[in-house]
Amino acid sequence: MNQPEQTDAAPGTPSAQVTQLLCLLRDAVPLIDLRAPGEFARGSVPSAINLPILSDTERADVGTTYKNSGQAAAIELGNRLVSGEVRDARLKAWRDFLTRHPDARLFCWRGGLRSETAQQWLKAAGVSAPRVAGGYKALRNACLDALGSATTTKRWVVVGGRTGSGKTLLLQRTPLAIDLEGLANHRGSAFGARDTPQPETANFENQLAVVLLQHQHSVLLLEDESRTIGRLAIPESWHSKMQSAELIILETDMASRCANIRREYVDEPLQQGLPEADLAQRIEDALDRIARRLGGARHTEVKRLLAEAFDNGNHSAWIERLLSWYYDPMYDYQLEKKHQRVTLTGDADTLLNYLNSELQPLG
């Protein structure tokens, strides 16, 4: 495989190859990830589909042969394992995808033997498909570079507010925002787990990079978050930047906060088909995880009100106690350390009017 031509670039300026990779990611160009399913599961890019040239078992066997007997023996084994009907089936899958997506490209780990082999098989079948230079490794590095550059190329604004104030709803109302909790598939608290699992770390970061590349404004709005969202960590450079960024505070009354919490944590899961008993157990388990910090008597009281709520429908009672006894004191303590960064406090419309006045596309 010919190596891509190296180009001179000013410090901090992406090379021509990196720029091309960023365009592929930003434009969501369809990609065929030829790596084994296990590799794909650990991380790929959002526009990729996994159509492997080797299964996990085949890859392991080829890798062992390569280690013990060298490249030629490994290639020979790979050709034996992927031959006849197996080869025909995999070639057909690639051809079918390329028929639907003529602009698709191929990649493997580093743009080497696997993607070269697939490209040759396709060429012999009369189908042309370019490879991604550098493969997944290059795509992953491009994503990480994009995430790092955002800390200096945009003006960051962080929206804070008490639990249940509707920060996520506010994010959904402006194109300036990136929803970290949505990308992490977690609401960011002890009660924030969803029915579907969180993505792998690499997939979370790669998806975030793609959303960032598609973000066309000079101002970037994010919700105030702790270092982790569920089991996923926000990229270190992002979290560090968020700790010094301008902070605007969303104010919402207690009744509206309770209604927001009920909608997100009770009504929506039930509407999505989660059995009531399972939901009650999920919330009770989350309460148990914060029992020590909540305090024994208060923990018992909230659990009692929770149990009653699934009988009488009065979820506001336990939600208000939880907000007042647990989340609000913690919020007040954290805000005290951040108050010098606060530039605006108000309701959703006040904050949106301020943000809209700063709404500028990138030139």
**Tokens (6 digits) for 22:** 């960023």
148-151 contacts at long range (C-beta below 8 A, 24 or more positions apart): 148/235, 148/237, 150/212, 150/220, 150/238, 151/237, 151/238, 151/240, 151/241
Give the chain's length: 363
- Element (DSSP H or E) covering residue 128: none
Gap between the Cα atoms of 336 and 320, Å rounded: 22
Q: β-strands 232-233, 228-229: how paired?
A: antiparallel
Phi/psi at 102 (5° precision):
-60, -20
Strand positions, DSSP E, 237-329: 246-250
- Element (DSSP H or E) covering residue 78: helix 71-81
Gap between the Cα atoms of 90 and 103, Å rounded: 19
Gap between the Cα atoms of 3 and 124, Å rounded: 23
Gap between the Cα atoms of 162 and 253, Å rounded: 10
Gap between the Cα atoms of 26 and 24, Å rounded: 6
Query: How many CA atoms within 13 Å lie on the side-chain side of 273?
Result: 2
The residue annotated as part of the active site, out of 23, 108, 143, 258, is 108
Does 143 qualify as catalytic in the annotation?
Answer: no
**Phi-psi region at 324: left, alpha or beta (left = phi > 0; alpha = psi -120 to 50):** alpha
What type of residue is 257? Answer: R
Q: How many Cβ atoms from other residues are within 10 Å of residue 179's Cβ?
A: 15
CA 109 centroid distance within chain = 21
Q: How many Cβ atoms from other residues are within 10 Å of residue 197's Cβ?
A: 11
Query: How many CA atoms within 13 Å lie on the side-chain side of 185?
Result: 12
**Tokens (6 digits) for 283:** 């919330």
Q: Provide the annotated active-site residues.
A: 108
